[in-house]
């Protein structure tokens, strides 16, 4: 597909064209990526979308939770949902992607939902960067609610917070952040903390865990938006707490769109991604020097521009 075909396809709601464009965005070949970037800029920024991050350790129930909140949201005929799941483990085995698909049965089959696993490719810092382009393409295709599933254990994954308007952390009953394998920093980014699997024998423990987190979060400094993170319990399997999630998420949305907070935050995020691009460019340049450095040190003759800063 060429640029015009991609644009036409995406504009007319053809999900094949959307998938194709996302694949181009994930490519390591600059000309393919550029094609995707041109398609994105054709559509321009979509300011009225709601971007929601769902982060947590593997097995916390993120995909099941997304199936539940997505299904409920789609009862509103004006809603369209794109789910982007970033799962580092799936790159090797493809196992969890299949797992995710089966956990999102209803969403996968729904005409107003689009589900796509994203991969990092071999791009430097590619994970979140590719997801960002995929997100922009989904928005261009008219999806007004973007749900991004990510595993929140490593450094790179916390970048998802730089993509979203609302950051949700999914935990399980019992255990502190360390036990749940979550980095402390992520806790501080959360706008809503969900203690999932609050069912059966674990329900009581879930309520206790929610209380503990709620107390801990009240001790943290308020964010610039004067939003105190909400802690709720849910059972994604039994459809409990799903309506409460949306209640909080819509409260939050009202709060951020009533002032210019959302616009400001998206601008700050843009700044972040621009800086990151510059950083990646410079790092790529550094890599190019590597051979010259090794050779120069071995022969005692470093390239002029390096040597002049080292030997004074």
In the complex, the residues that contact ligand GDP under the rule CB under 6 A are 56, 58-64, 99, 103, 196-197, 199, 235-237
Structure tokens at 160: 């998802």
Distance, CA of 69 to CA of 236 (rounded, Å)? 8
Planar angle of CA 214, 176, 216, nearest 5 degrees = 25
**Residue 236 near which of ligand GDP, Mg ion, none (CB within 5-8 Å, type-dependent):** ligand GDP
Distance, CA of 298 to CA of 152 (rounded, Å)? 42
Closest by CA position to 65, among listed 168, 153, 178: 168
Q: Which is nearer to ligand GDP, 24 or 55 (CB)?
A: 55
CB of 173 to ligand GDP, least distance (A): 10
Cα→Cα distances 143→41, 136, 162, Å: 16, 10, 19
CB of 135 to Mg ion, least distance (A): 17
Q: Which is nearer to ligand GDP, 134 or 242 (CB)?
A: 242
CB of 236 to Mg ion, least distance (A): 11
**Residue 88 near which of ligand GDP, Mg ion, none (CB within 5-8 Å, type-dependent):** none
Q: Which is nearer to Mg ion, 24 or 158 (CB)?
A: 158
Q: Which is nearer to ligand GDP, 92 or 288 (CB)?
A: 92
Sheet with 113-118, strands from edge to edge, namely 113-118, 81-86, 145-151, 50-56, 166-171, 192-195, 230-233
Tell me the per-residue interface mask from 222 to 251 with Mg ion, x by CB under 5 A, - otherwise. Answer: ------------------------------
Reduced to 3 states, what is the DSSP secondary structure of residue 292? helix
Cβ 134 vs Cβ 39: under 8 Å: no
Cβ 55 vs Cβ 170: under 8 Å: yes
CB of 131 to Mg ion, least distance (A): 14
Contact window for Mg ion (CB under 5 A) among 70-78, 97-105, 139-147, 257-265: 97-105
Regarding 63 and contact with Mg ion (CB under 5 A), the answer is yes
CB of 101 to ligand GDP, least distance (A): 10
Reduced to 3 states, what is the DSSP secondary structure of residue 50? strand
CB of 184 to Mg ion, least distance (A): 23
Regarding 162 and contact with Mg ion (CB under 5 A), the answer is no
């Amino acid at each position: 597909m060429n640029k015009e075909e991609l644009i036409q396809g995406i504009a007319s709601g053809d999900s094949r064209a959307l998938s194709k464009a996302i694949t181009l965005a994930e490519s390591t070949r600059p000309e393919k990526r550029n094609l995707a970037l041109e398609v994105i800029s054709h559509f321009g920024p979509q300011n009225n979308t709601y971007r929601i991050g769902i982060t947590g350790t593997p097995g916390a129930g993120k995909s099941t939770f997304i199936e539940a909140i997505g299904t409920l949201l789609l009862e509103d005929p004006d809603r369209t949902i794109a789910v982007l799941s970033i799962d580092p483990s799936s790159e090797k085995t493809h196992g969890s992607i299949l797992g995710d698909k089966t956990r999102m049965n209803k969403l996968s089959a729904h005409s107003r939902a689009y589900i796509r696993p994203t991969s990092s490719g071999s791009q430097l810092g590619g994970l979140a960067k590719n997801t960002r382009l995929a997100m922009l393409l989904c928005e261009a295709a008219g999806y007004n609610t973007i749900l991004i599933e990510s595993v929140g254990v490593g450094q790179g994954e916390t970048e998802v917070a730089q993509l979203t308007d609302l950051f949700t952390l999914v935990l399980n009953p019992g255990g502190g952040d360390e036990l749940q394998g979550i980095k402390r920093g992520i806790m501080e980014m959360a706008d809503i903390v969900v203690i999932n699997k609050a069912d059966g024998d674990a329900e009581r423990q879930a309520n206790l865990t929610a209380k503990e987190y709620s107390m801990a979060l009240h001790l943290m400094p308020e964010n610039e938006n004067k939003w105190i993170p909400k802690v709720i319990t849910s059972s994604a399997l039994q459809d409990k707490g799903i309506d409460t999630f949306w209640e909080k998420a819509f409260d939050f949305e009202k709060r951020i769109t009533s002032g210019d907070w959302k616009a400001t935050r998206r601008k700050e995020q843009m700044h972040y991604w621009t800086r990151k691009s510059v950083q990646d460019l410079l790092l790529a340049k550094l890599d190019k020097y590597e051979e010259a450095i090794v050779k120069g040190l071995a022969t005692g003759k470093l390239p002029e521009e390096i040597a002049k800063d080292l030997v004074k």
